[in-house]
Amino acid sequence: MALHRLAMALGCALAAGWPGAPCAQPVGEPTAPSRIAIADHVRDASRRFGIPEAWIYAIIRIESAGRVRAVSSAGAMGLMQLMPGTWARQRARFALRTDPFDPRDNIMAGTSYLREMYDRYGAAGFLAAYNAGPGRYEQWRDRGRPLPLETRRYVAAIAPLLHGDGLAITASLQPASGAPRFARRGEGSARQGRSDLDHEASAHPFARPAVPRHDLFAPVSTVRDQ
């Protein structure tokens, strides 16, 4: 076997005309995939939690650029950039597995959390709450403490990807003097309490996009963000 490998290496070097030339792997040795299909995971999460697929793809695109093993400087993890505490809570609630970077479980946890933020804060606040955290968003909503620049940029970047809801969401972060700090989607919709997230959403509360605008694959990355 050693002689066979040596012969292959020598043959490659001779063919290239210089010693140490790279050679393709022998046929039959598997290589790691460079991309992972996530469309099924996004579809399942959309059906389970009643969130449009386009919204999930938008979060993934802006939060992690589709990097499966992305880690932010604050410690947020995976495709949908979940903080450790958020991941632990959603994992326990929905019986997910132990790896926060697993594409399916990260998407399930992130989508369930996104739905919680929508139910709690409505269309005007759920993106800011997802990015900055509920407490930080409530400080802005209730006491007028400015949102972080990162959050304002985040909402401005992601809102146009939500197929028609973007304008209202962006505008809601800049309330006029004397106007309510956030708008409601339907009378009292943000105040009616949390819905049961564990059932398959039969009555979809959102309009599904007619034409999906997303990639069906996320690139695999083993390099964590610094």
Residues marked as catalytic: 63
CA-wise closest residue to 152 among 181, 176, 175, 132: 132
Report in angstroms the alpha-carbon separations of 159 from 2, 11, 42, 98, 173.
Answer: 58, 56, 19, 31, 11
Q: Which one-letter amino acid corresponds to residue 14? A: L
Distance CA 126, CA 114 (A): 7
Six token digits for residue 62: 């802006």
User: Tokens 């999906």 belong to which residue?
Assistant: 212
Residues 6+ apart with CB under 8 A from 185: 122, 123
Distance CA 38, CA 107 (A): 9
Distance CA 106, CA 155 (A): 21
Helix (H) or strand (E) holding 87: helix 84-93
Distance CA 124, CA 166 (A): 10
Residues 121 and 155 sit within 8 Å (Cβ to Cβ): no
CA-wise closest residue to 83 among 136, 155, 131: 131
